[in-house]
């Protein structure tokens, strides 16, 4: 499969809160609590317990547990896949209309985490 990502992704699990911004048929509850599996300056892979149609616009609040920081980004669902009998989904989200400060904070976090991993490959739990 051809790699289409614009930026390197950091495999990193973080809690997220999702709010659906665009109007969709049968909108989900206002705030959904889930997690992300990876993140880059251009997007993230998120796990959710509801189906999010492609092109759904989301407001995503990332809680970066390693540095106790919250970052808010807007993203558009680019793909969705059922993982567990239509009860758990993975979605690829591309960041759109996200403030440059949020993108910078994501970039700084990824850079910091990669540097940390290179110094402590065995890892230290946060």
CATH number of 10-119: 2.40.10.220
Neighbours of 117 (CB within 10 A): 14
Q: Is the dihedral of CA 15, 21, 32, 92 positive or negative?
A: negative
For the stretch 43-83, pLDDT in tens is 999 999 888 889 999 999 999 877 888 999 999 999 999 98
Q: Is the dihedral of CA 112, 16, 23, 89 positive or negative?
A: positive
For 14-41, give one letter per residue: b (16+ CB within 10 A) or e: bebbbbbeeeeeeebeeebebebebbbb
What are the distances in angstroms from CA 80 to CA 47, 111, 116, 122?
10, 27, 31, 33
pLDDT for 38 beyond 90: yes
Total-model pTM: 0.82
Domain boundaries, the chain: 10-119
3-state secondary structure of 122: coil
């Amino acid at each position: 499969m051809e790699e289409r990502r614009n930026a390197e992704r950091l495999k990193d699990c973080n809690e997220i809160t999702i709010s659906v911004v665009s109007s969709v048929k049968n909108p989900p509850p206002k705030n959904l609590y889930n997690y992300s599996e990876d993140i880059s300056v251009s997007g993230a892979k998120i796990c959710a317990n509801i189906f999010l149609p492609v092109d759904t616009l989301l407001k995503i609040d990332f809680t970066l547990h390693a540095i106790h920081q919250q970052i808010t980004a807007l993203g558009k669902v680019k793909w969705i896949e059922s993982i567990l009998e239509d009860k758990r989904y993975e979605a690829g989200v591309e960041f759109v209309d996200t403030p440059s400060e949020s993108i910078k904070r994501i970039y700084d976090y990824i850079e910091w985490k990669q540097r940390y991993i290179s110094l402590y490959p065995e890892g230290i739990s946060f």
